[in-house]
Amino acid sequence: MTDATLAEPVAPAPVAPAPVAAESPAPRPRRTAALALKWLGVAPFMIFALLFLILPTIHIVLGAFQTPEGAFTLRNLAGLAVPQVVRPFMLSIRLSLLTAGLGCLIGLILAAAVTRGGLPGWIRDAMLTFSGVASNFAGVPLAFAFIATLGRLGLVTVVLKEVFGINLAATGFNLISFAGLTLTYLYFQIPLMILIITPALDGLKREWREAAEILGASGAQYWRMVALPVLWPSLLGTFALLFANSFGAVATAMALTGSSLSIVPIILFAQIRGDVLQDPHLGYAIAFGMIVITGIANLVYIVLRSRAEKWVR
Amino acid sequence: MAFLQIAHLEKSFGTTRVVRDFDLSIEKGEFVSLLGPSGCGKTTVLRMVAGFETPSSGAIAIDGRDVIALRPNQRHIGMVFQAYALFPNLTVAENVAFGLKVKRMPADLRAARVREMLALIGLPDLGNRYPFQLSGGQQQRVALARALAIKPHVLLLDEPLSALDARIRVSLRAQIREIQRELQITTIFVTHDQEEALSISDRVVVMNGGVAEQVGTPFEIYNRPATRFVAQFVGTLNLIEADVIAPATGTVRIGTTEVSLGRPLPAGRVTLACRPEAVSLGAAEGRPLLLWAEIGKVEFLGAVIRLRAQAGRTALSLDMFNRPDTPPPAAGDRVQVSISPADLLVLEA
Ligand SMILES: Nc1ncnc2c1ncn2[C@@H]1O[C@H](COP(=O)(O)OP(=O)(O)OP(=O)(O)O)[C@@H](O)[C@H]1O
Ligand SMILES: [Mg+2]
């Protein structure tokens, strides 16, 4: 969705067509051929997933439990319990919780505003289109965009100072900080929330709101007693997704803060390059920790999502 | 003054006027249906009464009080929607209790009322089910209970049966009417099914193109339709083209047959209309309009047999009672049919 988590973005490798089952004289050749053809269609996906997702993951998980000599050990995982590792994990979790929470809240309000009706239809179209673009805007270009606007010499910073006399730096704001990173992440978190939650909001039937209203409920009561409970599984699920999305983002953080802010992806990156701790197997353990946390977030998402779909029938 | 008074109601969406000069007075406890084809403005009228749409002009008063400026939740109205309006996250009992809860009724009174309502709709044991665990008919009954739980002064139903199977539709409409009679609640029922409207209403409003064409009892609507539209929309109608040859005595020529209707008619061409049950087989006293016809189809409907016949250029449907001792004519038979002039409506040609 945004940054590559572990591997750097890789252009899809040209994939050799899988061998077609033409060699064995099958009892029902036409059926077999049709079946083989169907599988051929998804073969590029399978091969791609194997090469760039499954194999690396297995490699990392195994590496996390191995000594450099290849023997089984728990030392790597135990090695995570040092402040240089724990602090980045906590920072990353805090950053992810915060940007996921704010992303959900602000995204929900925006999506609710355009789906409730009353606004001209083009606003909804424009916002969804923009969200589609912005939710994919990440990495170096996003960091550059923020530096160019809110950085020390950024356009907004300068205009605020020159035109309105507001000195952004004097307010304590610094783009290369936790707050700055939060703000930058929100740039793709909010649109992602809008994209995911808009269909769920569309699933709220007009009759529910009107029935609640004519039964005497205020707008707030309708949201509290009907809309939010119905949306709740989707909201929690989307929160988990936004969490994972932020937790794994590395390129944006790297490009924006260099290595001045120690969030997990950055120390991991440093680890892989061999800058700091010189222990590739500790790197595996850190990556394993990330996989576990991201995995939990996605598991929560999947479970809650399937529950959400039971309501809206 | 009537309990529910609608006067000169108008509604436009953009430049299209979808409700025009709509008047209706409903007495307390009366059951009135809005009947009309799709798009004629029935829902729009209902939603203006409920307060979900603001009229472009006109007045709506309930119990002598102008409600135009009131919000839906201030009008003491219960509403049942076409389908799927139950809150999916709440059980049946919680759905029924919803209006009581937002009105802060104490929990014990609330529980008692919910039990009473579930008994009223005949689903006393389903309080703990979720809406998706109910059939369509059960859902609509729960929706009715939810609307009635707050003791509204007026009940509005917008095609509450149209999403259901035909058989359930018939039994549920009878049940709705029974509950309405029991509670004596003033009710507006929207439908595009004429049989439904005629069978359960005290009065029917036939709407067409945003206009109330006729307001009357089912008997009046069926037997004395005020306009050509009402005549054609409600029930089956035979249309007979006739030339008026003596306007003063109302003598007309149909094909080669001449007959006097005994009332003055406009000169020229008229269209005469009659119901299938007004056409009889064979000649009889008091039925001077006699036509020869060839039987086309014979439809056996049980107690009634409907015959399709062709008299010259006029297609006729006629109903005869099914009597075991008089078998109906067969397709291809030439028969004489007769009609009483009193049963003929004159539509402007
Ligand atoms: N919000 C709206 N904006 C614009 N036009 C509308 C709106 N609501 C209804 N209309 C139009 O008003 C006309 C009457 O609609 P209405 O829903 O009242 O018809 P109806 O008699 O209830 O029809 P049906 O039997 O199909 O439910 C229709 O032509 C419809 O397209
Ligand atoms: Mg309608």
Q: Would you call A311 and B103 a contact, using CB atoms and an 8 Å cutoff?
A: no
Residue A32: per-residue pLDDT? 78
Is there a contact between B26 and B63 (Cβ–Cβ < 8 Å)?
no
Beta-carbon separation of A215 and B146 below 8 A: yes
CB contact under 8 A, B146 and A216: no
> Which own/partner contact pairs does A262-265 have at CB distance under 8 Å and 24+ positions apart?
A262/A87, A262/A88, A262/A91, A263/A88, A263/A91, A263/A92, A263/A95, A263/A181, A264/A88, A264/A89, A264/A91, A264/A92, A264/A289, A264/A290, A265/A3, A265/A5, A265/A92, A265/A290
Under 8 Å between Cβ of B10 and B55: yes
- Beta partners for residue B114, in sequence order: none
* Cα Rg, chain A, nearest whole Å: 24
Contact A47, A252 (CB under 8 A): no
For atom 29 of ligand 1, which residue has the closest CA?
Answer: B39
Strand, coil or helix: B257: strand
Confidence of residue A21 (pLDDT cuts 50, 70, 90): very low
Helix axes A264-273, A83-115, angle to 10 degrees: 130
Query: What DSSP state is assigned to residue B51?
Result: T
Where do we find the tokens 């003929």? B344
- Nearest Cα residue to atom 24 of ligand 1: B38
More confident call, A91 vs A223: A223
Identify the H or E element spanning A118. none
Largest separation between any pair of C-alpha atoms in chain B: 78
The 10s digit of each residue's pLDDT in A46-70 is 898 888 888 888 888 888 888 878 8
In this predicted structure, the answer to whether residue B80 has a pLDDT above a threshold of 50 is yes
- Say how many residues make up chain A: 313
pLDDT, residue B348, reads 65
What's the longest Cα–Cα distance across chain A?
83
Give the separation between CA B337 and CA B281, rounded to whole angstroms. Answer: 5
Confidence of residue A15 (pLDDT cuts 50, 70, 90): very low
State pLDDT tens for residues B233-258.
888 889 898 999 988 888 999 888 88
The answer to whether A243 and A300 are in contact (CB under 8 A) is: no
Higher pLDDT residue, A251 or B113?
Answer: B113
Contact B21, B57 (CB under 8 A): no
Cα dist. B161→A96, A174, B143 in Å? 50, 63, 12
Distance between CA atoms of residues B181 and B175, nearest Å:
10
The backbone torsions φ and ψ at residue B348, rounded to the nearest 5 degrees and listed phi first, read -60, 130
Residue A14 has pLDDT above 50, yes or no: no
Q: Mean pLDDT across the stretch B168-175?
A: 90
Q: Are B207 and B227 in contact (CB under 8 A)?
A: no
Would you state the pLDDT for residue A5?
40
Residue B197: closest CA among B143, B249, B161? B161
Interchain contact, B146 vs A212, CB within 8 Å: no
Quick one: which of B97, B74, B139 has its CA closest to A214? B74
pLDDT at position A236:
84
How large is the average pLDDT for residues A9-18?
Answer: 40
Query: Which residue would you say has higher pLDDT here, A178 or B158?
Result: B158
Q: Which domains does chain A have, with CATH numbers?
A: 98-262+297-312 (1.10.3720.10)
Query: Cβ contacts of residue A23 below 8 Å, gap of 6+?
Result: none
Instruction: Give yes or no for a contact between B204 and B35, defined as CB atoms under 8 angstroms apart.
Output: yes
Ligand 1 atom closest to the CA of B14, numbered from 1: 4
> Would you put residue B108 in left (φ > 0), alpha (ψ -120 to 50) or beta?
alpha
pLDDT at residue B259 is higher than 60: yes
- Asked if the model's pLDDT at residue A294 lies above 70, the reply is yes
Amino acid, res. B208: N
* Mean pLDDT (whole number) for A119-144: 83
Residues B204/B192, Cβ–Cβ less than 8 Å: no
B66 within 8 A of B59, measured Cβ to Cβ: yes
pLDDT value of position A3? 42
How big is the CA angle at B211 (ends B205 and B217), to the nearest 5 degrees?
Answer: 15
> Quick one: which of B19, B46, B49, B34 has its CA closest to B191?
B34
Packing angle, helices A178-202 and A83-115, rounded to 10 = 40
| Four-residue CA torsion sign, A289, A293, A295, A299 | positive
Q: How many CB atoms sit inside 10 A of residue B55's CB?
A: 20
**Res A310: pLDDT:** 60
Rounded percentage of chain A residues whose pLDDT exceeds 90: 13
How do beta strands B257-260 and B268-274 pair? unpaired
ipTM of this predicted structure: 0.83
Q: Using CA positions, which residue lies closest to atom 30 of ligand 1?
A: B39
Torsion-angle region of residue A132: left (phi > 0), alpha (psi -120 to 50) or beta? alpha
Distance of CA A59 to CAs A9, A284, B207, Å?
Answer: 18, 9, 74
- Tokens found for residue B4: 């529910």
Chain A contact for B88 (CB, 8 A cutoff): yes
**Using a CB-CB distance cutoff of 8 angstroms, which residues of chain B are in contact with residue A215?**
73, 98-99, 102, 146-147, 150
Looking at residue B99, what is its pLDDT?
Answer: 94
Interface test with A, best of B13, B43, B62, B98 (most A CBs within 10 A): B98
Residues 108 to 147 of B: which have CB under 8 A from any A CB? Answer: 132, 143, 146-147
The pTM of this model reads 0.79
B194 lines ligand 1 (CB under 6 A): no
Contact partners, residue A287, CB within 8 Å, separation at least 6 = A6, A60, A64, A268
- Does A124 score more than 90 pLDDT? no
Nearest-5° Cα angle at A20, A16 to A24: 145
Q: Is A36 helix (H, G, I), strand (E, B) or coil?
A: helix
* pLDDT band at B48; cut points 50, 70, 90: very high
Cβ count near A96 (within 10 Å)? 25
Rounded to an integer, the average pLDDT of A129-153 is 82
pLDDT in tens, B276-322: 989 998 888 888 888 999 999 999 888 889 999 998 888 999 998 88
Q: Where are the alpha helices (DSSP H) in chain A?
A: 29-49, 55-64, 75-78, 83-115, 121-134, 139-150, 155-164, 178-202, 206-214, 219-222, 228-247, 251-257, 264-273, 280-311
Of A28-37, B186-195, B244-253, which has the strongest mean pLDDT? Answer: B186-195
